[in-house]
Amino acid sequence: MKEIGADSDGEGLRVCIVVAQWNAFVTHKLLDGAKSGLGERGVGADDITVAWVPGSFEVPAATRWAAESGRFDAVIAIGAVIKGETDHYEHIAGQAAAGIMETSQETGVPVAFGVLTCDTPEQALDRAGGGQGNKGDEAAEAAIQMARLRAQLA
């Protein structure tokens, strides 16, 4: 029996990080975690491209463009959707998740999900470098592992 996967060596990989500007007090911290995580795992600074979009609703379109460009081995989607007093939250969070998954499935390029969906700003900050770690770093590790797995399965 042969087992493959869980390779976190990012050396030589090219990664695009798509980041929502909305809730920048959270997304900047997630971006820092993603860049740090990529660097710690061997992805060179020149092999990282950061693409800014207005909000989490726009993240799936930009992840699609990056994936279809042929320039990247993996894409990381970063955003923060924080629940408010209306049902706007459910629409944005659901559409962002669906669009990101669809991009990965249809293009074959791994897209790591680093979009927080939280009830409060405090919960979001806790997951962006606070007591719950940094989900940007976790998305970086997932992106690398999936890019390596894709190459091994090809």
133-134/48-53 β-pairing = unpaired
- As annotated, the active-site residues are 88
CA neighbor of 13 nearest in space, from 78, 76, 74: 74
CA dihedral over 67, 52, 48, 144, signed as positive or negative: negative
Task: Decide: 75 and 143 in contact? Cβ < 8 Å.
Answer: yes
In the beta sheet, which residues pair with residue 20?
53
CA 128 – CA 125 distance, rounded (Å): 5
